[in-house]
Amino acid sequence: AQKITQTQPGMFVQEKEAVTLDCTYDTSDPSYGLFWYKQPSSGEMIFLIYQGSYDQQNATEGRYSLNFQKARKSANLVISASQLGDSAMYFCARFNGGATNKLIFGTGTLLAVQP
């Protein structure tokens, strides 16, 4: 299986500051997509942002942006102007490759936003 690595089990950030959540991945596929999901304590997995491997620009969605470095196989999520509601678990994910649509998740980073 191709692996997703999130090296930060937990992080703190002050409200209104920016925070970067790390994600690195293995792949031998030339074409792939990377996803970030947010999971609050309620349990729902909320899709945040997608980056395609051939996209020329880093993806952005409101306060979320992706720092995509293809050669280093990293896709870090940047959250700007953190809010208390951003406190949640964040998962990086990509497809496993091959003839399946199997999504593989990293171990997640628990973000706590402090007032």
Partner 1 sequence: DTEVTQTPKHLVMGMTNKKSLKCEQHMGHRAMYWYKQKAKKPPELMFVYSYEKLSINESVPSRFSPECPNSSLLNLHLHALQPEDSALYLCASSQDGIASGQETQYFGPGTRLLVL
Given a contact cutoff of 8 angstroms between Cβ atoms, the answer to whether 91 and 108 are in contact is yes
Q: Which stretch binds partner 1 (CB under 8 A): 18-26, 44-52, 67-75, 79-87?
A: 44-52
Is 32 a binding residue for partner 1 by CB under 8 A? The answer is yes
Is 108 a binding residue for partner 1 by CB under 8 A? The answer is yes
Q: Which stretch binds partner 1 (CB under 8 A): 17-25, 57-65, 68-76, 87-95?
A: 87-95
Given a contact cutoff of 8 angstroms between Cβ atoms, the answer to whether 74 and 24 are in contact is yes
Given a contact cutoff of 8 angstroms between Cβ atoms, the answer to whether 103 and 57 are in contact is no
Q: CA-CA distance, 57 to 67, in Å (whole number)?
A: 10
Q: Which stretch binds partner 1 (CB under 8 A): 12-20, 29-37, 57-65, 75-83?
A: 29-37
Q: Identify any residues that bridge with 19 across adjacent strands, giving them in sequence order.
A: 79
Is 64 a binding residue for partner 1 by CB under 8 A? The answer is no
Q: How far is the CB of 36 from partner 1 (least distance, A)?
A: 11
Question: Which residues have C-beta within 8 Å of that of residue 56, sequence separation ≥ 6?
Answer: none
The total of other beta-carbon atoms located within 10 Å of residue 87's CB is 17
Is 81 a binding residue for partner 1 by CB under 8 A? The answer is no
The binding site for partner 1 (CB under 8 A) comprises: 29, 31-33, 35, 37, 42-47, 50, 52, 91, 94-95, 97-103, 105-108
